[in-house]
């Protein structure tokens, strides 16, 4: 890949993905519809990436993507932009319309990586593979299920190479506040999430679905019989076809996150003192 587009580029996952792409010398067309009331963290993320000449930020909504010069010359697009969960019921149809319009602008064989959620599986028992029946029981899960189905259909119609990546909760530096309320043992660290997305973008075969297992899932797959209560993600497809395995265990990941928080607070105090 030489030139890619990332929607939701200033979000948590988008920011880290853009940094990874830039570090590998890949030109990034970043798209994010910025809110008027921005946090210091969002401003800092924009500042850090804006220093790189390979980074081009477009403050646009998805339905304006066609206005970007040479949009049809990108190798891949990572669709990470997400709606406010409180507004999902009202925005699903509008997002689908924007996605269809976006895909129609892409030339054949462009790679499209859509970030979905393991919430599409709902409450199931035992080992869950990517081919499991989807039974979402949350607003987010139902939204992602609709988006997955439509994106796969639009991509096939336009001969776009689509990969859908279902993620558990992701944590790490710059994580959203709501992440602190989840079970970290079932989550994956941000660098593992980004690595999974990069591996999915390199798949030549399209119309595939992958999920990114956590260490919890790996441990369950190796040690726990399916007859026990609860569920865990199958690790075989992502490992065999993508070469994906998480690298950062929870203890290490939380240590990195806590160090980031400490350094960020120091920076904020310094800026206040010099302001």
- The mean pLDDT value for 83-101 works out to 68
The domain limits of the chain are: 3-250
Q: What percent of the chain has pLDDT over 90?
A: 54
Look at residue 273 in the predicted model and tell me its pLDDT.
Answer: 65
> CA-CA distance, 212 to 231, in Å (whole number)?
15
pLDDT score, position 88? 52
Estimate to the nearest angstrom the gap between the alpha carbon of 106 and the chain centroid. Answer: 20
Superfamily of structural domain 3-250: NAD(P)-binding Rossmann-like Domain (3.40.50.720)
Cα–Cα distance measured from residue 157 to residue 146, given in angstroms and rounded to the nearest whole number: 17
pLDDT score at 86:
47
pLDDT in the model for residue 48: 84
- Sequence-ordered list of residues with C-beta below 8 angstroms from that of 201, at least 6 positions apart, any chain: 1, 4, 76, 78, 111, 113, 163
Q: How many CB atoms lie within 10 A of CB 21?
A: 27
pLDDT score recorded for residue 92: 73
Of 137-146, 223-232, 263-272, least confident by mean pLDDT is: 223-232
The whole-number average pLDDT for the span 120-127 is: 91
pTM of the model: 0.91
pLDDT digit string (tens) for 190-203?
A: 999 999 999 999 98
């Amino acid at each position: 890949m030489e030139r890619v587009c990332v929607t939701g580029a200033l979000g948590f996952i988008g920011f880290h993905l853009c940094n990874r792409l830039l570090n590998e010398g890949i030109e990034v067309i970043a798209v994010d519809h910025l809110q008027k009331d921005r946090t210091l963290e969002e401003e800092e993320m924009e500042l850090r990436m804006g220093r790189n000449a390979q980074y081009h930020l477009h403050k646009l909504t998805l339905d304006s993507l066609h206005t970007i010069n040479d949009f049809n010359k990108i190798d891949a697009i990572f669709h990470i932009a997400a709606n406010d969960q409180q507004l999902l019921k009202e925005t699903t149809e509008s997002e689908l319309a924007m996605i269809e319009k976006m895909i129609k602008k892409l030339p054949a064989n462009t790679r499209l990586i859509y970030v979905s959620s393991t919430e599409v599986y709902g409450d199931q028992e035992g080992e869950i593979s990517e081919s499991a029946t989807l039974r979402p029981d949350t607003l987010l899960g139902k939204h992602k299920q609709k988006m997955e189905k439509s994106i796969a259909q639009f991509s096939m119609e336009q001969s776009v190479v689509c990969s859908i990546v279902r993620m558990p909760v992701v944590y790490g530096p710059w994580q959203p506040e709501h992440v602190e309320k989840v079970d970290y043992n079932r989550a994956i660290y941000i660098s593992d999430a980004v690595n999974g997305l990069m591996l999915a973008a390199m798949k030549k075969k399209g119309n595939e679905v992958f999920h990114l297992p956590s260490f919890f899932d790996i441990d369950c797959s190796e040690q726990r019989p399916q007859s026990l209560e609860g569920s865990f993600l199958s690790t075989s497809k992502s490992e065999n076809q993508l070469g994906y395995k998480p690298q950062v265990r929870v203890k290490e990941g939380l240590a990195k996150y806590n160090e980031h928080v400490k350094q960020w607070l120091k920076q904020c105090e310094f800026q206040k003192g010099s302001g």
